A and B are shown apart, each in its own frame.
Chain A
Amino acid sequence: MWHWDLTDYKATLFARQLTLSLESAGIKVFPGIKTGWHYNDKVGQKYLLEAIGAPLVKSYVFFSKKKALRWAGETTYPKVFKLRTGAGSSNVKLVKNKDAAQRLIRKAFGTGFPQINPVSRLKERLWILRRDKNFSSLKKLATGIIRLLITKKVEKFSQREKGYVYFQDYLAHNNNDTRIVVIGDRSFGMIRHCRIDDFRASGSGLIDYNHKLINIDCVRTAFDIAKKLNVQSIAIDFIKKADVPCQIIEISYAFIPFKFPGYWDTDLVWHEGEIIPEEFMIEDFIQSLGINLNNKKIV
């Protein structure tokens, strides 16, 4: 079991390779390749979700500047620009018109974008200060300023994003998203509200864990996707507007854990009582090895 994620730049150099190799040798891995290959890769997620007919928010990817520019001249706005990598709404921008889109396209096929942008990180920390108004958020802001000058390893070793450009349709009049997690035959989730005066919910920290607020259609869809993808763990970010079926923004095997107040089973029955997602992961994993919890092999 190996919880790797985008904060560990080394993992992107070899986590998938190691996983594929171990699985070839018959060793079970968490996250297995089916669970982890599309992590932090929105381009991969677009292909995969389209392939299984999942309700992904319409997404566009271009590997040629010419084709991208032509598309930008013909499409409608606003659109959402994203890099394939990034969490907590980093590397996500609202694009209001053709000129802005074409500027981004030229940059994508020119110097490219850094995976970690210290200026947007600083803006993000200003938001946290505005939200929390406490000492720790002030400290975060201060380190954000220092890190404009001093780069950490993860920035130094992350390659620039270029040679492709990715956009998503923008869903207007929406002030939150719904994150649903599925681990095995259990599901739980939360509502994330957008930052004030912003269209981005992920990473805002304005979270509601009240399961009654979650639209059960999202849970049903999440179970369906997890089954189709045959994954050990998946967090799916949905946008759910009244009268419209839920739509997916992105997926991730890893998510920020929390003591959720309960879970739904596959019959969509709610089980009240605090749960710990990491324990679900290891429980399922041990079971998949054919070992019971008394550490004896099941024959």
Chain B
Amino acid sequence: MKIAIHDHPGSYSDRWIRYCQENNIAYQTVNCYDNDFITRISEFDGLLWHWDLTDYKSALAARQLTFAIEKMGIKLFPDIRTSWFYNDKVGQKYLLEAIKAPLVKSYVFYSKKDALEWVKNATFPKVFKLRSGAGSSNVRLVETKKKAKKLINQAFGKGFHQIDPFYRLYDRIKILFSPSLSGNIAPRKIT
């Protein structure tokens, strides 16, 4: 048995590699983005690859590689069922609705007309989100119809950046001056 691990320092791969070393498990580090990766992976039984939204390349190739590698009978973490809806709130809405999970009521529109029509009878506040983003980035509280309409116009106009540098700066300042971090809340201890 031979395991391939996509080595990306700072990701889960640090621990996975250490685990294999400590437990004498045969592994090899690989780079999933290599042009000849399909040929390379064919000699392995499994692939561990911690990709996420901080690696923009994964959005271009991770799911495609996962589909293809599963077809070869090679086990993956994360496999396609585990990962396809990662960082995709629209996909999650469909999936959780499909299995009747208790998702907070979510709304998605692909036409400006439908979205504006919905606003007419919707109650506020609502939470606006981009499909992508973690750590509350790209999430806003929408208190009025007017604000909702403005966001809809932007969504069907010039759109939104996945990463908003001004918002990021604002968020970092907010955390810096947040009273709850000035001593009232202790760092979480594991008991």
**Which residues of B are interface residues toward A (Cβ below 8 A)?**
33, 35, 37-39, 56-57, 60-61, 63-65, 67-69, 71-72, 84-85, 88, 90-91, 94-95, 97-99, 108, 110-111
Contact between B61 and A164, CB atoms less than 8 A apart: yes
Q: Which of A11-26 contact B (CB under 8 A)?
A: 13-14, 17-18, 20-22, 24-25
A47 within 8 A of partner (CB):
yes
Which residues from chain A contact B85 at a C-beta distance below 8 Å?
17, 20
- Are A43 and B110 neighbours in the complex by a CB distance under 8 Å? no
A27 to chain B, nearest CB (A): 8
Cα distance A277–B94 in the bound complex, in angstroms: 30
Q: Which 10 A-B pairs have the closest CB atoms?
A: A17-B91, A21-B94, A47-B68, A44-B64, A25-B98, A50-B38, A51-B68, A21-B98, A10-B110, A21-B95
Cα–Cα distance between A43 and B39 once the two chains are bound (Å): 15
User: A37 interface residue, CB < 8 Å from B?
Assistant: yes
Which one of B35, B68, B94, B108 lies within 8 Å of A48 (CB-CB)?
Answer: B68
Q: Smallest distance from the beta carbon of A103 to chain B beta carbons, Å?
A: 20
A50: B residues at CB distance < 8 A: 38-39, 68
User: Contact at B71–A52, with CB atoms within 8 Å?
Assistant: yes
Cα–Cα, bound, A46→B133 (Å): 29
Task: Please state if B60 and A63 are interface contacts (CB–CB under 8 Å).
Answer: yes
How far in angstroms is the closest Cβ of chain B from A82? Answer: 15
Q: Is A60 engaged at the interface, CB distance under 8 Å to the other chain?
A: yes
Question: What are 17 A-B pairs at a CB distance below 8 A?
Answer: A10-B111, A13-B90, A17-B84, A17-B90, A17-B94, A18-B94, A21-B98, A22-B94, A25-B99, A37-B63, A38-B67, A47-B38, A47-B61, A47-B69, A61-B61, A63-B33, A164-B57
Chain A 214-244 against B: per-residue CB contact (8 Å), 1 yes, 0 no? 0000000000000001000000000000000
A260 at the interface (CB under 8 A from B): no
* A163 x B68 contact (CB < 8 A): no
Q: Closest approach, in angstroms, between the C-beta of A192 and any C-beta of chain B?
A: 26
Q: Say whether B67 contacts A163, CB under 8 Å.
A: no
A113 at the interface (CB under 8 A from B): no
Per the bound structure, the CA–CA distance linking A22 and B97 in Å amounts to 9
Closest to A228 in B: B71
* Interchain CB contact under 8 A, A51 and B94: no
Q: Are A24 and B33 in contact (CB under 8 A)?
A: no
Contact A63 B39 (CB under 8 A): no
B-contact bits for A46-76, CB 8 A (1 contact / 0 none):
0110111000000011111001000100000
Is there contact, CB below 8 Å, between B110 and A13?
A: yes
Contact B64 A47 (CB under 8 A): yes
Question: Is the Cβ of B35 less than 8 Å from the Cβ of A43?
Answer: no
A46 to chain B, nearest CB (A): 8
User: Does A41 belong to the interface (CB within 8 Å)?
Assistant: yes
Q: Give Cα distance in the complex from A163 to B60, angstroms.
A: 8
Q: Is the CB of B69 within 8 A of A51?
A: yes
Of chain B, the residue at the smallest CB distance from A11 is: B110
What is the CB-to-nearest-CB distance from A154 to chain B, in angstroms, rounded to a whole number? 13
CB distance from A110 to the nearest CB of B (A): 14
Asked whether, in the complex, the Cβ of A17 is within 8 Å of the Cβ of B68, the reply is no
Whole-angstrom distance between the alpha carbons of A13 and B72 in the complex?
28
Q: Which B residues lie within 8 Å of A13 (CB)? A: 90, 110
Tell whether, in the assembled complex, residue A63 and residue B67 are in contact, meaning their CB atoms are under 8 Å apart. Answer: no
**What is the distance, in angstroms, from A278's C-beta to the closest C-beta of chain B?**
25
Q: A43-B61, A62-B35 are in contact. Are A14 and B56 (CB under 8 A)?
A: no
- The residues of B that contact A62 with a CB separation of less than 8 Å are 33, 35
Question: Would you call A14 and B94 a contact (CB within 8 A)?
Answer: yes
Min distance, Cβ A43 to any Cβ of chain B, angstroms: 6
Which residues does chain A contribute within 8 Å of B71, judged by CB atoms?
A: 48, 51-52, 229
Q: Which residue of B lies closest to A229 (CB)?
A: B71
Rounded to whole Å, the gap between the CB of A64 and the closest CB of chain B is 7
